[in-house]
Amino acid sequence: MLLRRITLRQLALFETAARLLSYSRTAAEMHVTQPAVSMQMRQLERIAGLLLLEQVGKKLFLTEAGAEFAVCTRAVLDQLRAADEALNLRKGLHAGTITLAAVSTAKYFAPQLLAAFCRRYPAVKVKLVVNNREAIVRHLRDNDVDLVIMGQPPREFHLSANVFAPHPIAMIASPSHPFAGRKRLSLADLATENFLVRESGSGTRSSMERFFKRNRIPLRASAEMSSNETIKQAVMAGMGIAFLSLHTMGLELKTKRLVVLPVKGLPELRHWYIVHRAEKRLSPVASAFHSFLIEDGEAIVQAAVGAE
């Protein structure tokens, strides 16, 4: 039987190599030498009777069989980790590790959420991955994180998605912009404005495009930028206006370096979700964080972003 011949160490090394696609980075993360990783992977492939990882030049790739085996390996290791944490909880130890992924806009409050959770469970270790929506959806596809914090969940997977906080999105401008002194703006007023937009794959970009399409407003994108911080700086410099989450600019609004434009229909109220694959069995620690977010997440988010 295949599993009787494979060691847990080999599974852990393979899962890391499949995730990082680098023997050197795998060796560093697993605290072993690179030759040791290569040797263990060759032994694993001999046991499996199939090529799992393929080196092409300096790049490492998963074969089709390797990609399938990686999914199974993650499931096995997740189950073992859950069993270990369940036993720890039986012994009264709220220990374990949680791997959380969050879209980039959530970085303005995710650390506060984790800090509050870790104060409640001080023995818990946390791993946080922050990226744009496209990359976060890949984590959901690969099922390589415990939970995801994001806006609108994707529809291509069977997911468990629960709302834990409101998420307002508005139109912002420099205080020196001609619209800044207006008490009311119609959607038609925006038609000739230059907009600063996030990159394709960003959740903020997708929300903006849906808003403009729904209201039949032409979108004149004068510049594309890969971060909310860069867009805010560009708006302050007078390059244009932007459609951004109010959760990204508490400080700028307080110091009056940016203003919210009084556009009809805005702010648009969306929501933050805590998401995981529906078939995923959450570990005790992940389940505790999920419950914590549903119960206390909204208040912590509001405090973190300076909402009234």
Whole-number average pLDDT of the chain: 89
Shared domain for 153 and 215, answered yes or no, is no
Per-residue confidence at 258, pLDDT binned at 50, 70, 90?
A: very high
The pLDDT of 133-155, averaged and rounded, is: 93
Shared domain for 23 and 67, answered yes or no, is yes
Which pLDDT belongs to residue 54? 92
Residue 262: cis peptide before it, omega within 30 degrees of 0: no
The domain of 285 spans 80-164+271-304
How many domains are contained in the chain?
A: 3
Which pLDDT belongs to residue 132? 92
Q: b vs e for 186-204, b when ≥16 Cβ sit within 10 Å of the residue's Cβ?
A: eeeebeebebbbbeeebbb
DSSP string, 123-157: TEEEEEEEE-HHHHHHHHHHT-SSEEEESSPPSSS
Helix (H, G, I), strand (E, B) or coil at 293: helix
Least confident of 53-57, 80-84, 294-298: 80-84
Shared domain for 189 and 264, answered yes or no, is yes
Q: In this structure, what token pair is assigned to residue 142?
A: 């690969």
Shared domain for 178 and 264, answered yes or no, is yes
Shared domain for 16 and 142, answered yes or no, is no
Of 31, 50, 71, the position where a domain reaches its end is 71
Over 90: is that where the pLDDT of 176 sits? Answer: yes
Shared domain for 110 and 199, answered yes or no, is no
157-173, pLDDT tens digit by residue?
899 999 999 999 999 99
Shared domain for 253 and 170, answered yes or no, is yes
CATH code (residue 217): 3.40.190.10
Q: Give the percent of the chain with pLDDT over 70.
A: 95
Of 17, 39, 71, the position where a domain reaches its end is 71
Shared domain for 179 and 260, answered yes or no, is yes
Per-residue confidence at 130, pLDDT binned at 50, 70, 90?
A: very high
Q: In this structure, what token pair is assigned to residue 107?
A: 């970085």
Over 60: is that where the pLDDT of 105 sits? Answer: yes
Which pLDDT belongs to residue 308? 41
CATH code (residue 46): 1.10.10.10
Shared domain for 281 and 193, answered yes or no, is no
Amino acid identity for residue 225 in this structure:
M
Over 80: is that where the pLDDT of 106 sits? Answer: yes
Shared domain for 196 and 239, answered yes or no, is yes
Per-residue confidence at 91, pLDDT binned at 50, 70, 90?
A: low
DSSP string, 176-197: TSGGGG-S-B-GGGGTT--EEE
Shared domain for 241 and 170, answered yes or no, is yes
Which pLDDT belongs to residue 190? 86
Shared domain for 156 and 179, answered yes or no, is no
162 DSSP β-pair partners: 274
How far apart are alpha carbons 102 and 147 in whole angstroms?
9
DSSP string, 33-84: -HHHHHHHHHHHHHHHTS--EEEETTEEEE-HHHHHHHHHHHHHHHHHHHHH
How far apart are alpha carbons 64 and 66 in whole angstroms?
5
Helix (H, G, I), strand (E, B) or coil at 160: strand
pTM above 0.95, yes or no: no
Of 71, 91, 109, the position where a domain reaches its end is 71
